[in-house]
Amino acid sequence: MRNIFAEELYKHAIKNKKIYILVSDISPAGNMIRFQKKYPYRFLNVGVSEQTMIGMCAGLSMEGMRPFAYTISTFALYRPFEMVRNDICYQNLPVTIVGMGAGTIYSTLGGTHLTQEDISIARSIPNMSIIAPCDPNELKDAVNFCCTKSKSPIYLRIGKSGEKIFTKNCKDKWKFGKIRKIYSGNDICFLTFGPIVKKAFDLKDNLKAQNISSEIYSCHTLKPFDYNGLRKIFKKFKLIVIIEDHSKIGGLNSIVKTHAYENRYNGKIISYSLKDEFIHCYGSQDDLLEKHNISSKKIYQNIMEKIK
């Protein structure tokens, strides 16, 4: 996803001289290098100074520019939090904060590089919107929105590299603030966002072998959330499965279950979110997710038990 982000931003930067990108101690790659070489005065690497990165983005935005702050997600949001809140969100400035490698993607680097509570934190800040594309195609749409239409702060939560495309044949178009159906089915519904959507597609294939039809939705905009779309899902499905690479506190799990309670939804909701724990596992991302009880095998077994 990071290469797609660089590619799309470069395309827009050619047409729009107001686009700036500020990075914090990250070596540019792919089209980010082209951006740096072609527009050196619009590419700024502030080093290990994320607070400065956010403050500079705020200043550029106040001068009419459209800046992007880009670095690994923990350092994009956590370290400069006061500046994100006061310099950008308090003044409601159209700055896009790009958190790369979000969730458990940097599993081998430990808790300092994991953003298991970033959505919860970002959702709590007034004026902040949150977009978490499920694949490179959705990321293109999200970057286009951030470059051309956004009028307020956005936290753009993206993966790292190697993500598959799941929305190539999707009939529903990407729309900011709207839940998007990316695969049609009738029996159960998967709600997810970000690259972990892969698990929903793996499960869809396994369930199909048991004559169980799955519908999959990308909840790519976590704030503002599409509650109207969610209520339609409540009416259609009696079993909803939530899969997210985020804490059970404040993420999609909290959004859906709170709204289900408020609307007296009488179906079943089973959710697979990260535990409210720091788990000291330094293996692959799948290794860490399994420690959080998020594995395709466990989810499949639980679904079959619920259906029986």
13-25 per-position pLDDT tens digit: 999 999 999 999 8
Sign of CA dihedral 225, 111, 291, 1: positive
- Whole-number Å distance between alpha carbons of 178 and 191: 13
- Whole-number Å distance between alpha carbons of 190 and 215: 6
Sign of CA dihedral 255, 258, 261, 267: positive
| Token pair in block for residue 155 | 């936290």
Which residues, including other chains, have CB under 8 Å from residue 47's CB and lie 6 or more apart? Answer: 24, 25
Reply yes or no on whether the pLDDT at 9 is more than 80: yes
Q: Residue 50 in contact with residue 71, Cβ under 8 Å?
A: yes
Residue 177 banded pLDDT, cuts 50, 70, 90:
very high
Please tell me the predicted confidence (pLDDT) of residue 240: 98
Higher confidence at residue 162 or residue 241?
A: 241
Please tell me the predicted confidence (pLDDT) of residue 195: 97
Residue showing tokens 């702060």: 153
Strand partners, 271: 242
Residue 183 banded pLDDT, cuts 50, 70, 90:
very high
The share of the chain scoring above pLDDT 70, in percent, equals 100
Please tell me the predicted confidence (pLDDT) of residue 30: 77
- Whole-number Å distance between alpha carbons of 8 and 98: 13
Residue 145 banded pLDDT, cuts 50, 70, 90:
very high
Query: Tell me: the pLDDT tens digits for 35-70?
Result: 999 999 999 999 999 999 999 999 999 999 999 999
Query: Tell me: the pLDDT tens digits for 208-218?
Result: 999 999 999 99
Please tell me the predicted confidence (pLDDT) of residue 7: 94
Residue 230 banded pLDDT, cuts 50, 70, 90:
very high
Please tell me the predicted confidence (pLDDT) of residue 25: 86
- Whole-number Å distance between alpha carbons of 98 and 9: 12
- Whole-number Å distance between alpha carbons of 214 and 265: 19
The share of the chain scoring above pLDDT 90, in percent, equals 94
* pLDDT, averaged across the chain: 95
Please tell me the predicted confidence (pLDDT) of residue 31: 85
* DSSP line for the chain: -HHHHHHHHHHHHHH-TTEEEEESS----THHHHHHHH-GGGEEE--S-HHHHHHHHHHHHHTT-EEEEEEEHHHHHTTTHHHIIIIIITTT---EEEEESTBTTTGGG-GGG-BSSHHHHHHTSTT-EEE--SSHHHHHHHHHHHHHT--S-EEEE---S-PPP--TT-SSPP-TT--EEEE--SSEEEEE-STTHHHHHHHHHHHHTTT--EEEEE--EEES--HHHHHHHHHH-SEEEEEEEEESSSSHHHHHHHHHHHTT--SEEEEEEE-SS-----S-HHHHHHHTT--HHHHHHHHHHHH-
Please tell me the predicted confidence (pLDDT) of residue 202: 95
Please tell me the predicted confidence (pLDDT) of residue 86: 98
Q: Residue 276 in contact with residue 305, Cβ under 8 Å?
A: no
Reply yes or no on whether the pLDDT at 32 is more than 90: no
Prior bond of 40 cis (ω within 30°): no
Reply yes or no on whether the pLDDT at 271 is more than 80: yes
Can you give the C-alpha Rg of the chain in angstroms?
19
- Whole-number Å distance between alpha carbons of 197 and 143: 19
Reply yes or no on whether the pLDDT at 80 is more than 90: yes
